[in-house]
């Protein structure tokens, strides 16, 4: 057997040339970090302008550099630039193409800069841009939920604890619960933008530079509030990526909870809602089936987003200051989580806007399971002055009697109820009806339609200003 054949077997069939091919494959990131091309070119133009402004390079060279970079931007967007894995990453691919276009002046661009601060500013810019996109998508989802809540502010449905019917609520109130959840996601993404609004550019490899650069100028040019204050932290920080992934994971979890409810509600056993064909699929063998696949995929993709957070946390947990090649693993996690979350929010916004609500099925279910038992207990406390624990016991006996008679609480006769507590009067029936129970929950944040409509009006005003 030849030495070459032995070498190929040792290193594996995909890597025909041995260790060099393996090193190129594991080291190159151009297959995914090309996504940063716009941010990389934007950062390079800002850096070149600062170099010229401070007299580090000539205005003529800066003009050539800016023209060349803008040409490369157009080539990439047109799909005509061929990337090379031998050049490792987006930074070197752009720099090599710039040298082809403008010659020696291209070599001046990297003055007072390292790939360490370059990649840090590129990714930070990308994540910041994505945060603004997520914020807009969240506002769109909240708007869709507000519209459904307004339509169904008085539509009765069962509220659940432990997946058991607990107390009647309205579908509008249920939708508004998700408005609140997604509003906190919106708050988190805006907080994240505030914290990541600092520029690492100019930190160079790790220690700063001896050139008289102006980091405040490049920070302003790139839309950052200010430069980062420590050069070591500038190149080694990935908190902003972790925070984005944490926000994405929490948001995905909220989306998954709503997706799970949509899946349950659309079953024939519940029949609370119906999804259109746009967000459903059929079965290959059972013609009667209509599967809520979009909701199931939202639920499933949450694990993917959560996994990216855990993955990057694990990468960063043992990283000493400052930069290590391990940090190349940050990008695929962030990119995929962002794309996945964008798709999940678009799908959920579509489902919320598209679903047909079966108000009759919801109302029927709301009356089952003796859902107004708490209203009976509250009436006993409020009207007869019973201690709540005693009222709870009396109500339990009433529920047991209703179950024996196979009727709902409101169908028990006055004589039935007085056999449990003689002080009960016919006024009790004013609270045992589901609709009356709903109307009585007027405490701030309660399910009474009047209160739900107040919250809807409040949120409409807040979103209009957001």
Distance of CA 330 to the CA centre of its chain: 18
CB-hemisphere CA count at 13 Å for 292?
27
Beta strands 356-357; 273-274: pairing state: antiparallel
Helices (H), 54-204: 59-78, 90-102, 115-151, 171-195
The span from the CA of 411 to the CA of 402, in Å, is 8
Q: Where are the alpha helices (DSSP H) in 222-288?
A: 231-236, 239-265
Q: What is the rounded distance in angstroms from the CA atom of residue 171 to the CA atom of residue 232?
A: 52
| CB contact at 8 A, 210 and 159 | no
Is 162 annotated in the active site? yes
Whether the CB-CB separation of 213 and 57 falls below 8 Å is answered with no
Residues 6+ apart with CB under 8 A from 444: 451
Q: How far are the Cα atoms of 78, 207, 300, 393 from residue 317, in angstroms, in the given order? A: 40, 22, 27, 54
CA pair distance 4, 263, nearest whole angstrom: 57
**Strand 164-170 to strand 198-199: parallel, antiparallel, or no bridges (unpaired)?**
unpaired
* Cβ neighbours for 454, distance < 8 A, ≥ 6 positions apart: none
Instruction: Identify any residues that bridge with 226 across adjacent strands, giving them in sequence order.
Output: 198
Which residue of the set 2, 162, 210, 284 is catalytic?
A: 162
Element at 56 (helix H, strand E): none
Cα 246 to Cα 255, 337, 374, distances in angstroms: 14, 10, 38
447 phi/psi in degrees, rounded to 5:
-90, 0
SS3 label, residue 266: coil
Residues ≥6 apart with Cβ < 8 Å to 216: 226, 227
| Helix (H) / strand (E) containing 164 | strand 164-170
- Cα-Cα-Cα-Cα dihedral sign, residues 106, 30, 337, 352: positive
* Catalytic annotation, pick one of 283, 368, 413, 430: 283
CA distances from 84 to 21, 31, 89, 95 (A): 14, 9, 8, 12
Provide the token pair at 433: 């009806």
CA R_g for the chain = 31
47 catalytic, yes or no? Answer: no
Report, as residue numbers or ranges, the catalytic residues: 162, 283
């Amino acid at each position: 057997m030849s030495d070459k054949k032995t070498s190929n077997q040792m290193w594996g069939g995909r890597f025909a040339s041995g260790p060099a091919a393996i090193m190129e494959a594991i080291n190159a990131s151009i297959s995914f970090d090309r996504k940063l091309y716009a941010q990389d070119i934007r950062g390079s133009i800002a850096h070149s302008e600062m170099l010229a402004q401070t007299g580090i390079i000539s205005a003529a060279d800066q003009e050539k550099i800016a023209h060349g970079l803008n040409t490369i931007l157009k080539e990439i967007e047109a799909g005509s630039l061929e990337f090379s894995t031998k050049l490792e990453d987006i930074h070197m691919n752009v720099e090599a193409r710039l040298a082809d276009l403008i010659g020696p002046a291209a070599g001046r661009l990297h003055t007072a800069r390292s790939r360490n601060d370059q990649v840090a500013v590129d990714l930070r810019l990308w994540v910041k841009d994505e945060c603004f996109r997520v914020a807009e998508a969240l506002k769109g989802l909240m708007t869709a939920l507000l519209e459904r809540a307004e339509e169904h502010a008085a539509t009765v449905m069962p509220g659940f604890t432990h997946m058991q019917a607990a107390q009647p609520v309205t579908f509008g109130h249920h939708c508004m619960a998700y408005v609140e959840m997604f509003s906190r996601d919106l708050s988190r993404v805006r907080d994240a933008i505030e914290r990541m609004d600092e520029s690492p550019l100019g930190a160079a490899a790790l220690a700063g530079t001896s050139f008289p650069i102006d980091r405040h100028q490049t920070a302003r040019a790139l839309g950052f509030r200010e430069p980062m204050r420590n050069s070591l932290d500038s190149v080694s920080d990935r908190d902003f990526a972790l925070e984005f992934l944490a926000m994405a994971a929490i948001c995905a979890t909220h989306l998954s909870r709503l997706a799970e409810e949509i899946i349950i509600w659309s079953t024939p056993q519940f029949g609370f809602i119906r999804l259109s064909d746009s967000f459903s699929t059929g079965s290959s063998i059972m013609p009667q089936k209509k599967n809520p696949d979009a909701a199931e995929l939202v639920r499933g993709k949450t694990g993917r987003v959560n996994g990216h957070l855990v993955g990057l946390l694990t990468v960063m947990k043992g990283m000493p200051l400052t930069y290590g090649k391990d940090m190349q693993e940050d990008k695929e996690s962030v990119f995929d989580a962002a794309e996945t979350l964008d798709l999940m929010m678009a799908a959920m916004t579509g489902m919320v806007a598209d679903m047909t609500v079966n108000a009759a099925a919801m109302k029927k279910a709301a009356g089952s399971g003796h859902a107004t038992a708490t209203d009976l207990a509250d009436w006993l406390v409020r009207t007869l002055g019973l201690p709540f624990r005693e009222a709870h016991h009396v109500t339990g006996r009433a529920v047991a009697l209703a179950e024996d008679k196979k009727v709902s609480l409101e169908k028990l006769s006055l004589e039935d109820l007085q056999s449990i507590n003689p002080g009960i009067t016919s006024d009790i029936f004013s609270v045992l009806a589901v609709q009356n129970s709903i109307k009585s929950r007027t405490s701030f944040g309660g399910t009474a339609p009047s209160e739900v409509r107040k919250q809807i009006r409040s949120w409409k005003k807040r979103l209009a200003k957001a």
